[in-house]
Amino acid sequence: MVEGILSKAFWFVAATVFAAATVVHGQQAPCFFIFGDSVFDSGNNNNLQSKAKVNFPPYGIDFPKGPTGRFSNGRTIPDLIGELLGFKDFIPPFSGASPEQAHTGLNYASGGGGLREETSEHLGDRVSLSNQVLNHRKAIKKAKVPSQRLQQCLYVINIGSNDYINNYFMSEPYNSSRRFNHNQYAYSLNLLYRAHLKTLHRLGARKVALFGITQIGCTPKVMLSHGGGKACAKEVNDAVRIFNKNLDDLVKDFNKKVKGVKYTFVDVFCGGDPKAFGVLGFKVGDKSCCPVSPAPGEELCTPNQQVCANRSEYVFWDDIHSTEAVNRKVAKGSFEGLLTRPYSISQLVKE
Ligand SMILES: *[C@@H]1O[C@H](CO)[C@@H](O)[C@H](O)[C@H]1NC(C)=O
Ligand SMILES: *[C@@H]1O[C@H](CO)[C@@H](O)[C@H](O)[C@H]1NC(C)=O
C-alpha cells in the first residue's frame, strides 16, 4: 500500500518534471508557416524565371548548407525565429517540399512577391501573397492537416516592400504612382492585406505575426535611386510609414473583432535607420558587405566576389537585404517583444 502511494507519487513527480521540461526546452509550436518576399524566401525562386534569385555564392557564405536561395549571408529572420521556437530543422521552402511537411510547416515566401499582382513583374516570375495563400490551401488540404493543429501553428508574414520599391516608386513600367497618392496607395494595399488575412483565418490561422516595412528609403539601393546617393529617401520612408500605421490598425481590428485570434504587428521601422543600427553596434550602415554591380537597378551581390572582412559589422549584406547579424536582432526583438505590439511571438505561441 505504502509502496503503491510512493510509486504513484514518484510517477506524478516524474511526469510533472518531464512535462515542464518539454514546455521549456521543446518545440513551442507544432508547426510554423512563412509567407512573404525575399526577406523571408528560402529558395522558392530557385527554379523560377526570375532575376530575383540568389542560389549562388557569396549568398549563404555563413549558412550551414551554403547558397540555398536565402537573400542573406546566413540565416533569415524566420530561420532564427524557428530556432528560438525550438524547431530542430529549418522550415522547408514550399517548392520541392514533400506533402507531409505541411504538418510541421512550409515556407511560401518569394523574392519579388507583393500584395499587388503586377508588383515586380519586370523581374520575371514571383509568387504574390494571394498565390502564396493558395499554395498554403493546396498544401494543407493535400496533407490533410487537422484544423485543430492548424490553429496552434505560428504564421509570419513579411510583405509590402516590393509594392513600393518594385511598383509605386518605379514609374516605368508601373503607373500606380500616377493613379494613387500615398494615402490611397497604402489604403489599397491594406484592403488586399485584409482580404488575404481573412482567407488565412478561414484556413485555420489564429496566431499571426505581421511584419511592417523597414525604412527602405535608407537602403543603399533606394538611397542611390531616390536619395541622391547620400541621404535616406524621405519620400519613400514617409509613404511606407502610412502602410505601417494601417497595418498596425488592421492588427488591432482583427484582435478586437475576431474571436480567438492573436495577431501581432512587428515594428521594424523604428530601428531601421542607420543611426539606430549604430547604437546597436553596427559599424557600416550605408553600404553593402558584398560588391554589387554599379549598373542601374542592381541590388544583388555580384557572383563569386570577395566580401567584407567582418559580416557582423555590416547592416546590409547586398544593396537591400540585411546581414544575419541584423536578422538575429530582429528575430530576438520580435520573439521577446521589443519590436511587437500587442503580443511578442513568444506570447503568441503560448496557449
Ligand atoms: C496602368 O497599368 C495597368 C497595367 O499594369 C493598365 O491595365 C492600366 O490601364 C494603366 N492605367 C493607366 C491610367 O494608365
Ligand atoms: C566582427 O565584428 C563583431 C561586431 O563588431 C565583433 O564582435 C567581432 O569580434 C568581429 N570579429 C572579428 C574576427 O574581428
DSSP-derived pairing of the beta strands 207-211 and 314-316: unpaired
What tens digit of pLDDT does each residue of 126-162 get? Answer: 999 999 999 999 999 999 999 999 999 999 999 999 9
Q: Is position 95 annotated as part of the catalytic site?
A: no
Domain for residue 204, yes or no? yes
Nearest-CA residue for ligand 1 atom 1 is 175
Q: Is position 226 annotated as part of the catalytic site?
A: no
Nearest atom in ligand 1 to 118's CA? 5
For residue 175, report the distance from its CA to the centre of ligand 1, in Å. Answer: 6
Domain for residue 269, yes or no? yes
- The answer to whether residues 117 and 130 touch, using CB atoms and an 8 Å cutoff, is yes
Domain for residue 73, yes or no? yes
Residues framing ligand 2 (Cβ under 6 A):
281, 310, 312-313
Domain for residue 217, yes or no? yes
Domain for residue 270, yes or no? yes
For residue 173, report the distance from its CA to the centre of ligand 1, in Å. Answer: 10
Nearest atom in ligand 1 to 173's CA? 5
**C-alpha torsion angle, residues 194, 187, 218, 177 (rounded to 10):** 130
Our count of domains for the chain comes to 1
Phi and psi at 165, nearest 5°, equal -70, -45
For residue 268, report the distance from its CA to the centre of ligand 2, in Å. Answer: 24
User: Tell me, what's the pLDDT at 10?
Assistant: 36
Averaged over successive runs of 10 residues, the pLDDT of the chain (351 residues) comes to: 37 38 68 98 98 97 98 98 97 97 98 98 98 98 98 98 98 96 98 98 98 95 90 95 98 97 94 73 94 89 96 96 96 96 97 73
CATH number of the domain encompassing residue 156: 3.40.50
Domain for residue 124, yes or no? yes
The secondary element (H helix, E strand) that includes residue 163 is: helix 161-163
Domain for residue 110, yes or no? yes
Judged by its nearest atom, the ligand closest to the C-alpha of residue 289 is 2
Judged by its nearest atom, the ligand closest to the C-alpha of residue 281 is 2
Q: Is position 196 annotated as part of the catalytic site?
A: no
Q: What is the pTM of this model?
A: 0.92
Judged by its nearest atom, the ligand closest to the C-alpha of residue 178 is 1
Domain for residue 242, yes or no? yes
Catalytic residue (choose from 318, 322, 334, 344):
318
Structural domain boundaries, residue 269: 31-349
**Neighbour tally for 260: CB within 10 Å:** 7
Phi and psi at 319, nearest 5°, equal -80, 0
